[in-house]
Amino acid sequence: MLKWFQGALILCLLAIAPAARAGLIVEGSVGKGVKVSPGSATAEQANVMIAPGVTVPFLRLELGFAWDLPDKADSKSNLELRPMVMIDPPLLPIYGRVVFAVANLVHGKTEIAYGAALGLKVGLGPIGVFAEAGFLPRSRETDTGVSHINWVIEGRLGASIGF
C-alpha cells in the first residue's frame, strides 16, 4: 500500500512540476497530538516534520517526513510518512490540508492515519510561518489483534521557504 501512495505522489509531482508558475517549497514544523477517544484523553508523542513539496497557484503537494520524539514513558523514536495536499489561497491567511499518514515505520506495528487540518499563515516573500490544528484519526490494533479508530487532534507550528 505504501508503494502505491509513493508512486502516486511521484506521478503527481512529475505531472505538475513543469506547470506555469510552479515552485518548490520546504516546510519545517513541530506537532503534538492528543488522543481524545476511545477512553480518556492522553497525549501522543511530539514530532518534528520536514515536508518538501511542489506548489502551483492555490495548491501544494507535499511529502512530510515526521520523526516522533520519545517524549512519553515507554515510547521510542519513530518515522512517519505524510503525503499531503494543501489548498492555499494566495491572498487569504487561511489554508486547508488533507493528510494521509503511514506511521511506525521503524518500531512497532504500522498504523494508518488520515484527516485534515486548518491553519493560519503569514509570510513575506518566500518565507512564511504557520499554525494549524488537525484531526487525524488513527487505525490501531489492540493487544488482542482487534483494530479500532483512535480519534486524535494535533496542533502544529512551523515555517516554510519557497524557491
Kindly write down the DSSP assignment for every residue of 103-146, as one continuous string.
E-SSSSS-EEEEEEEEEEEEEETTEEEEEEEEE--EEEE-TTS-
The answer as to CATH 3.60.20.10 being correct for domain 2-17+24-162 is: no
- How far apart CA 158 and CA 141 sit, in angstroms, is 31
| Domain regions of the chain by residue span | 2-17+24-162
The pTM score is 0.83
Model confidence pLDDT, tens digit, residues 116-148: 999 999 999 899 999 999 999 988 877 777 778
Segment holding 8, helix H or strand E: helix 2-16
Residue 45 is given by DSSP the state P
Model confidence pLDDT, tens digit, residues 67-115: 999 988 888 899 999 999 999 998 899 999 999 999 989 988 888 899 9
Taking the alpha carbons of 110, 111, 116, 118 in that order, is the dihedral positive or negative?
negative
